[in-house]
Amino acid sequence: MTDDPNTLVSTDWLAKHLKDPDLRILDASWYLPAEGRDPKAEYDAAHIPGARFFDIDEISDARSELPHMAPPVEKFMSRMRAMGVGDGHQVVVYDGAGIMSAPRVWWLFRLMGQENVAVLDGGFPKWIAEGRPTEDMPPIPRDRHMTVRFQNSLVRDVTQVSHASKLGSPQIVDARAADRFRGEAPEPREGLRAGHIPKSRNVPYATLLNDDKTMKSPQETAEIFKAAGVDLSQPVITSCGSGVTAAVLALALERQGHTDWSLYDGSWAEWGMFPTVPVATGDA
């Protein structure tokens, strides 16, 4: 793969830059409750040297009833300052699944106007499999100011997505597994209807990954989007269960050079809860 410090970097790249003074590493592991994993406990037991733990559920909008919605700018800035992450830093985000929740944090940084942020390809499992170093103590952070320029174009709300669904533009692409998209499998969150946003396409995020949970090449991921009926010359809104794996699709699009994308932050946790918006089932 080609390392790009604005999208995706390899474990080799990270190992080479591990001692760079302006590198900041974030462990953004997050799991569905059914997986029975505690990301903070796993971080405390072992993490990449120098990594800070980024709590997706805590660094969010506490005013929203929806899970881990993007935090207000002030909250993001204060949390990053406390973690010692700010202007002039190269950020690398990883997770314990390979590539699953780390792109969500990559998207959050992009939403806040930060460009120098990349996801670690293959994440912590690949780092461990290669016998690379870990530690069990958190670093001692030093405050660093972060200049935030919120990028409205990278996020969409339910009203905007409803318009897109009616008009068929921008295209909506759903990252959930095919059986959830079709409405054949129950949603992991209670009280949600089964199915998908009408006129949306399905690109399960796992199809964009290799067996070792690294991301397929930009050429391969582009073909997967095209095979799902996505026109890559047109804008795309990515969606999923709660706005986490939708960011995997966004990262894949960005690597392909498709920069006209946005993420539906509420995703199915919001759409599936509203009785007033329509739901489609099957492959339609």
Question: Are residue 29 and residue 120 in the same domain, yes or no?
Answer: yes
DSSP assignments along the chain, one per residue: ---BTTTEE-HHHHHHHTT-TTEEEEE-----GGG---HHHHHHH-BSTT-EE--TTTSS-TT-SSTTPPPPHHHHHHHHHHHT--TTPEEEEE-TTSSSSHHHHHHHHHHTT--SEEEETTHHHHHHHTT---BSS--------------GGGEE-HHHHHHHHHHT-SEEEE-S-HHHHHT-S--SSTTPPSSB-TT-EE--GGGGB-TTSPBPPHHHHHHHHHHTT--TTS-EEEE-SSSSTHHHHHHHHHHTT---EEEESSHHHHHTT-TTS--B-TT-
CATH of the domain at 235: 3.40.250.10
pLDDT digits (tens, 9 = 90+) for 98-144: 999 999 999 999 999 999 999 999 999 999 999 999 999 999 999 89
Is 271 known to be catalytic? Answer: no
Task: Give a yes or no: residue 279 inside a domain.
Answer: no
Report the pLDDT value the prediction gives residue 259, as an integer from 0 to 100.
Answer: 96
Domain boundary among 150, 183, 214: 150
Question: Are residue 210 and residue 232 in the same domain, yes or no?
Answer: yes
- The band of 283, judged by pLDDT with boundaries at 50, 70 and 90, is confident
Task: Return mean pLDDT, the chain.
Answer: 96
Report the pLDDT value the prediction gives residue 180, as an integer from 0 to 100.
Answer: 96
Question: Are residue 168 and residue 106 in the same domain, yes or no?
Answer: no
pLDDT digits (tens, 9 = 90+) for 23-54: 999 999 999 888 999 999 999 999 999 999 99
pTM of the model: 0.97
Report the pLDDT value the prediction gives residue 99, as an integer from 0 to 100.
Answer: 98
Report the pLDDT value the prediction gives residue 284, as an integer from 0 to 100.
Answer: 66
Query: How many domains are contained in the chain?
Result: 2
- The band of 176, judged by pLDDT with boundaries at 50, 70 and 90, is very high
- Average pLDDT (180-188) is 92
The percent of residues above 90 in pLDDT, for the chain, comes to 94
- Average pLDDT (187-214) is 95
- Average pLDDT (44-73) is 97
- Average pLDDT (228-251) is 98
Tell me how far apart the alpha carbons of residues 267 and 248 are, in angstroms, rounded to a whole number. Answer: 14
Domain boundary among 102, 118, 150: 150
Full residue range of the structural domain in which residue 73 is found? 8-150
- Average pLDDT (253-267) is 98
Residue from 240, 244, 247, 269 carrying the catalytic annotation: 240
Task: Give a yes or no: residue 32 inside a domain.
Answer: yes
Domain boundary among 127, 150, 173: 150
